[in-house]
C-alpha cells in the first residue's frame, strides 16, 4: 500500500510539473525517477482480482450518520467520482439539470477535475443535486474531511453487514451499474463500455473492464 500511495503522489506531481519541464526543455532526471518507481511498484504490487463493489450501496448510504457523509457517498455512487472530487465542490461546479444523452433522464450535472487534470462532468440524481445545491447555497461550498468520511463509511459498512471496501468501492458500484443500465437501454456493448470509461476518466478500456467485470 505504501508503494501504491507513493506512486499515486508521484503521478500527480508529474502532471503538475510536466508543463514546467516542457517549457524549459529539461528533464531534471524526473522521467528516470518515474520509470524507476513504476518498475519497483510493478515488482511489489499484484493486481487485485475480483470486485470491490459494495453488495448494498443503498443501505450503506442510508446508514451514514451525517448528512454530509450521505451526500458524498451518494455523489460517489451515482456519479462515480473519487473521494477527492466528491468531497470538495463549489458553486461554479454545479451546472444545472440536464438530460442524460443515453437514458434521457433529467439529472444534475457536476463539473470536476479528475486524476490527471482533465475537466469532466458527471451526472447525479436530482435529489442528490438538490441536496448538494442547498448545502452550497448555505455554506458557500461543500466540503468534507476525507478521514472523517472514511471512518463514517467504515462504520456504515459494519452496521449493514458489508465488507469495507474504502470510498473507492462506490466507484466500482458506479461502473458496474452504469454499464449494465446502458446495456438494458439498448446501448451496444462497446459503446456502453466506452461511455463508462469516459465518464470515469479512464484512459484505457482495460481499466474500466476491470471495474465492471472484476478481472
Residue-wise pLDDT for 121-144, tens only, equals 999 999 999 999 999 999 999 999
Residue-wise pLDDT for 164-176, tens only, equals 999 999 999 999 9
Q: What is the pLDDT of residue 68?
A: 97
Q: What is the pLDDT of residue 49?
A: 58
Q: Please say whether the structural domain 57-213 has been given the CATH code 1.10.443.10.
A: yes
Residues 61 and 173 sit within 8 Å (Cβ to Cβ): no
What is the rounded distance in angstroms from the CA atom of residue 168 to the CA atom of residue 78?
A: 13
Look-up of cell digits 470491490: 52
Question: Would you say the C-alpha torsion 37, 42, 43, 46 has a positive or negative sign?
Answer: positive
Coil, helix or strand for 40?
Answer: helix
Look at residue 101 and tell me whether its pLDDT is greater than 70.
yes
Q: Which of 38-47, 125-134, 192-201 has the highest mean pLDDT?
A: 125-134
Residues 73 and 64 sit within 8 Å (Cβ to Cβ): yes
Look at residue 119 and tell me whether its pLDDT is greater than 60.
yes
Closest C-alpha among 211, 207, 185 to residue 50: 211
Q: What is the pLDDT of residue 116?
A: 79
pTM score of the predicted model: 0.76
Look-up of cell digits 482495460: 206
Residue 5 binned pLDDT confidence (cut-offs 50, 70, 90): very low
- Domain ranges in the chain are 2-44, 57-213
177 contacts: CB under 8 Å, gap ≥ 6: none
Look at residue 9 and tell me whether its pLDDT is greater than 90.
no
Q: What is the pLDDT of residue 215?
A: 65
The more confident residue out of 145 and 10 is 145
Phi and psi dihedrals of 211, rounded to 5? -65, -45
What is the rounded distance in angstroms from the CA atom of residue 78 to the CA atom of residue 64?
A: 16
Amino acid at each position: 500500500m505504501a508503494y501504491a500511495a507513493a506512486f499515486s503522489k508521484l503521478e500527480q506531481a508529474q502532471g503538475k510539473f510536466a508543463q514546467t519541464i516542457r517549457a524549459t526543455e529539461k528533464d531534471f532526471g524526473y522521467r528516470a525517477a518515474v520509470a524507476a518507481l513504476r518498475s519497483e511498484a510493478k515488482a511489489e504490487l499484484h493486481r487485485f482480482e475480483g470486485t470491490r463493489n459494495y453488495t448494498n450501496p443503498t443501505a450503506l448510504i442510508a446508514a451514514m450518520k451525517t448528512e454530509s457523509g450521505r451526500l458524498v457517498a451518494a455523489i460517489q455512487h451515482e456519479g462515480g467520482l473519487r473521494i477527492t472530487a466528491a468531497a470538495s465542490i463549489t458553486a461554479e461546479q454545479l451546472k444545472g439539470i440536464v438530460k442524460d444523452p443515453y437514458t434521457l433522464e433529467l439529472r444534475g450535472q457536476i463539473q470536476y477535475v479528475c486524476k490527471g487534470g482533465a475537466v469532466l462532468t458527471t451526472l447525479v440524481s436530482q435529489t442528490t443535486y438538490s441536496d448538494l445545491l442547498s448545502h452550497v447555497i448555505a455554506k458557500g461550498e461543500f466540503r468534507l474531511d476525507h478521514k472523517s468520511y472514511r471512518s463514517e463509511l467504515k462504520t456504515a459498512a459494519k452496521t449493514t453487514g458489508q465488507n469495507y471496501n474504502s470510498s473507492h468501492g462506490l466507484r466500482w458500484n458506479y461502473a458496474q451499474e452504469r454499464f449494465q443500465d446502458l446495456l438494458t437501454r439498448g446501448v451496444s456493448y462497446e459503446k456502453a463500455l466506452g461511455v463508462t470509461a469516459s465518464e470515469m476518466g479512464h484512459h484505457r478500456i482495460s481499466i474500466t473492464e476491470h471495474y465492471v467485470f472484476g478481472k
